[in-house]
Structures are given as structure tokens and as C-alpha cells.
Amino acid sequence: MKIQKLKAVIWAMLIATGSIGFACAADDVVIADFESETYGDWMVTGNSFGDGPAVGTLTDQMPVSGFSGKRLVNSYFGGDDSTGTLTSPPFKINRHFLNFLIGGGGHQGRTCVQLMIDGKPVLEATGTNTIPGGSEMLSPDYWDVSKWDGMDAQIQIIDQMQGGWGHINVDEFVLSDEKPATQAMDRNFVVEQDYLLIPIRNGAPKVKLEVSVDGKPIRRYETELATSPDNVDWYAYFTLSEHRGKTVNVTVSQATESGFALIKASDIIPSSDQRYDESLRPQFHFSQRVGWINDPNGMVYLDGEWHLYFQHNPVGWSWGNMTWGHAVSSDLIHWKQLPNVLFPGTMAKGACFSGGAVVDAANTGGWKSGEQDTLVAFLTDTGAGEAIAFSNDRGRTFTWHDQNPVVKHKGRDPKVVWYAYDDSDTPVDDEAKKLDGHWVMAVYDESPEFGNNTAFYTSTNLKDWTPQSHLPGYFECPELFELSVSGVAGQSRWVTFAADGKYAIGQFDGRKFTPDHEDKHQLHHGEFYASQTFDHAPDGRRIQIGWIRIDMPGMPFNQAFSFPHQLTLKETKDGIRMFAAPVQEIEKLRGTTHSIDGKALSADQPVQLPISGELFELEATFELGDAKQVGIDIGGNRIVYDTAAQTWMSAFAPTSDRRVQFRALIDRSQLEIWGNDGAVVISGERKIRGEVNEIVSFAEGGTARLVSLKVHELKSIWER
């Protein structure tokens, strides 16, 4: 017994560091911790449990978490088709409860743990998973065994299930007079309000959360649940208004009673009157109400609305639970966030990774059900492959295509565009001739032959896809579009790039992209990543939004997007290059304008322009003279051109006439710069924040001239 007590003390130390899911008192009795290489006196049958406890995750298994120490019972040896049992030697029941950790399959009698008295099962527990998706996380559970006090018992772990979730994960059997501090909980209620609120504690142990309506799962997430009203950092929310009058069940794998009580229905989101005015909240860049975002997705224009979908963790401050969030705008400036549309585990088999969207105006997919053109989204279902969902209600809700995946390969992030034939094209089949074009999917691909590459597929019906070619040297989030060359009548080029934004200009014949040059060109610098452009724009503009990778500590939201900007192609002395500029709609936000012209600059002669505010648009032009640097200081944030290196903030932007120019947008937490008429774009964090009362123009290492400086005070896009 002394050894058992020592182990219990060690358990308590592990609990203090969050290593296991429940605490053990000093007089608890550890039946098994499964930390040895073998099962010892436990009896094994079949082949699903292996020769001894598993060291965490097994081959081809999703990541296993929530177990104690280094090992656990994991019946995924041999995959989901293996079967077997694992039975303990007899032990005496001498405490009120038998506590344990359990996960995996949720099939009664087939993937389960049973308490055996006189050789017969008297209690049973299973994992929580029965359908594709889900998680391998173990959670605390317990049995009240007080009625068998003083009797001999055995534990039998059973895997008699083949196929999906045909395995069980178990760890740490402990006899105790205390229940686990946290345990699985569930509650039913009838939907009478718009939202279900979820209390979040950043950094708390992750638990499984599932919401079902009339018995059908609609949300399935892992989240960091708060344990009491005192440690809620922020509230996540699910929109349930479409389910009014229906019965909802909420289940969590692990919660305290006080934490679980905070999961409740509401007609408002807590502190909603303060939303969009937090200290780091972007005031004219789009940001989500709560949770995490990364890649913009499915960017498309339809019937007066710009649709911005995005990679979203609605129940966490960090990456995970990839869901498609949704916002719309009529002017690319003022955004309204709508309910999320594509969900992991309940729509997709896995997570809903990045992709694009198109308007299927000719109904090539055959999904149109009314007068409204169908909006078709393409995404990576991490549990299957490239998938389709379609909407006939202007992108508000989507139907999952019942024949997904439409492309299966090692890769992700499909972007689909329409390729129209001209007189020089040879259609590939009769259907393409009838349509006078075909669909093209550009998708990130990995293969032994081409390495990291963009693969191109074609289709006439959006469902059946034929591989055509590969373009090596690209990683994640491909983009493909055609642009006219500014000022050159009848000239256009195709452009492709991936997540890092480094692009190639070339020719595309509907099946293969051929670059006009070696290597790649670079427009974007800084924290800009995984951008996408709007499809089906009504005015022919090519408008881009990207993810700006900056943390928002202490906020209920994290990360943000770039301001929308228009892409153009221009002839330069080095050939055709891509340029960018903020969309002209920025003018709607302009308030008071301050300006100054024609001022000499030197190290001891800066020029101050008095202003007042926090949000600005700047336009500045300099003649370099013999200065080593010129630039602008905005409340301690310096925008600098190095004349020897010919760089704006380390981004190479050469000048041939000793004259440079930039535009900048300064938001609460972001700073974006378009240098030399948009030859380079630098996106990143505004390091020094707050109100600014002057803009300082300067030159260092010589003299220069401030040709012009114009500062527009900007208004917030968020309604107060």
C-alpha cells in the first residue's frame, strides 16, 4: 500500500501541471497507470491491443491527447479492423468511485470499458465517437461503485468493432472517495433565443464540445472551456436562430459544474455594445467578432455583395477547428459578419480548409433551384480531399455535395476560375464547345515527381475533374487570374502565385501555365500571407485581400486581414510587373485633410505637420537629393526609404529619377505601405499605438526635399 500511496502523490503532482484530467487524494488506490512496456498481469485476447500500452498516437491514427504520462491503452494497433479484449486481474472495491480516462469509439458493448462483478458486466462506459470526424482526446469519467464495497471486481476493456471508430482509448484507473473535478456533462433545451454562448478561458485544457439539434450533430469542436465565472476571458457563440423551437443537446467531454452552467442561450453576445472598439480592434480593416482567423476564402461578388469567407476558429483564440466564417459588404469598406457556413466534423469529415468560390451563372453543376444564381464553394475537407458545397440563398447557407470529394490527392486549397475560349483555342470536348469554355481548378499538390507544386485540373460541370499539368515550386493557397496590361491596348497576361505572394506572369491555355520569365517576382512583403482575389467582380477590377499575421494579445479576437487593394499590370524597364493600390473606396472614410508642400529636409531640419487622431491615410513624395534616408514618423512609427539600398522598409523599390513616393494606411494595430506607386507593398503591425498629434517628415545623412505630404484623417467603419 505504501507504493500505491507514493504513486498517488506523484499523480497529484502531475495534476498540478495539467498532465492528467483529475486529481488523486493521497489515499486513492491506483489500479493501473499503464506506464510499463507490457500489460503485466492483465489478460490480452485478439490483436487490437498490441503487446503492451501504446506510446501515444499509433500509425495512421489522428493525434491522441488527454492521457496521463507516456503510455495508455490504445486498441488502434492494426487499425480499426483489429479486435480484442484486455481484462484486469481481480481487485477489491474499497472506495466510493472508480475514476478513469476514456476516449475513442462510442459503440456500446463493442468499444467500451466494463466493470465485472462475479464475471458479469454491471457498469459500462464508451468513448464519444461514432461518425467521421471527432477527436482522439481522452476525458475523465467515473463509476459510483459504492454498492459493491468489499467485493472483488475486474475491468474489461473491449474492442469488438470493425470500421469507423472501431477502437477504444483508456488510461488511469483509480479507486477514490472523490469524483473527478471535471467530467462529461450534457443538457437539453428548446431553442428560444438566437445564440448559444460558450465561455472561453485561453490556455485551459481542451475539451470536446458537441451541439445536436433533434439528435443530429451540427457543431463539433475542441475548445478551452472556462471553469467558473471568474476565469472567463471571452464568450464564443453559435448562431441558433434557424433552429428556434427545436430541441438542442449540448455535450462536453470535461467540465466543472460552474463552467458548464455558463454555456447558455442568449439573445445577445456579452459586451456586444463594446464590440469593435477594443484597444487593438482594427477600425477600417475587416476583423472577426471573436476567435481566430487566417486565410481569406471563397472571395466572390454576387448580386451587389462582396462575399468574404475566411478560415475561422469560432471557439478559440489560436488556430484550430477550421470553419468557414462569412462577411459581406456592398462597398468593400463596411463589412457585416454573418453566421458561419461550413463546419468541421458535421459537414466535412475533417476540418474545412481553404478554398475559393465561383458563381455558376450557367448552372453547369445543375444545383440551381430557383431564380438565384448558385454560388459554389470549393474547399479542402481534411478527412477526404477537395470538396464542394453550394448555395442557392446568396451564400448564407450551403449544401454539402453528396459525391465529395471531387478530387483526391495529396494537397489542399483549391481555387476555381472560368476559362473562356477565344478563336485560337481548341476546345477539349463537345460539352466545352457548347459552353465556349471550361472550369479550371488550381490546387496545391505534393508529388514525388513535381514536389510542392500547383496542379491544374479542368471540368465542364464542376463535379468531374481531369488533371492537366503541374507547375513546380509553389506552396499552399494557389491563385490564378488574367489581367490587362495598363496602357497597352489588347495586351493581357495570366498571373499565378501561392501563399507567399511571390508571383509569375505568363501564358495560360486553359490547361497549362507557362511563365514568361525565370524565378518569381515579389510584390508583397512583411506579414502578408495566403491572399485571394475576388472572382466575378462587376467592374473588371482584380481586388486582393490577405491575412496579416499579427497577434492580438488580450483581445477576444486574433489576427486580421489586409485592406482590399486593386492589382494592375504595368510595363517597366524590367518588363511587366504587378502593382497594387488601396481600393478607391477608401475615400469614403476620409475626414479632415492636412497637407504641406515644397519643404527642404535635413537632419537638423525636419518638418512637422500638426494633426489629431488615431487613424490615417498618408500620401507623400520626396526628392532624395544627397540624403541617405528620407521618411515619415507617425507617433514613433517610422516609414523609411534607404537611398543606397533603394528600399522601402527593406523592400527593394528602385528609382531612376531620385524621386520616391508612398501611400500608407495607419489603423489601431496595423500599418500598410504602398511604395513607389505600389511597386512594393509592406504589411505588418503598428508597433506604437494611440493618438498622434503631428506627422514628422525627415531626411538623414544629407538633404532632401518633401515635395508633398497629404494626411487624411479616417473614420471607423464600425457602427457605434
Q: Which are the catalytic amino acids?
A: 295
491 phi, psi to nearest 5 deg: -100, 130
In this structure, are residues 508 and 581 in contact, taking their beta carbons and an 8 Å threshold? no
Judge contact between 557 and 233, C-beta under 8 A. Answer: no
Cβ neighbours around 628 below 10 Å, total: 16
**Cβ neighbours of residue 300 closer than 8 Å, sequence gap 6 or more:** 307, 356, 357, 358, 359, 375, 395, 534, 535, 536
* Ramachandran angles phi, psi of 241, nearest 5°: -60, -30
Which parts of 214-262 are beta strand (E)? Answer: 216-224, 234-239, 247-255
Supply φ then ψ for residue 16, to 5 degrees: -60, -25
Relative to beta strand 323-329, strand 607-613 is unpaired
Cis preceding linkage at 405, omega within 30: yes
Element (H, E) at 92: strand 91-92
Please give the C-alpha separations between residue 425 and each of 436, 467, 506, 508, in angstroms, as whole numbers: 10, 18, 17, 11
Give which of 162, 148, 176, 50 is closest to 90, Cα–Cα.
148
CA angle 202, 206, 211 (to 5 degrees): 105
Q: Which residue has the cell 505572394?
A: 501
Three state DSSP letters for 624-659: CCCCCEEEEEECCEEEEEECCCCEECCEECCCCCCE
How many whole angstroms separate alpha carbon 155 and alpha carbon 119? 10
d(Cα 682, Cα 669) in Å, to the nearest integer? Answer: 14
DSSP string for residues in 118-147: TTEEEEEEE-SB-SSS--EE-EEEEEE-GG
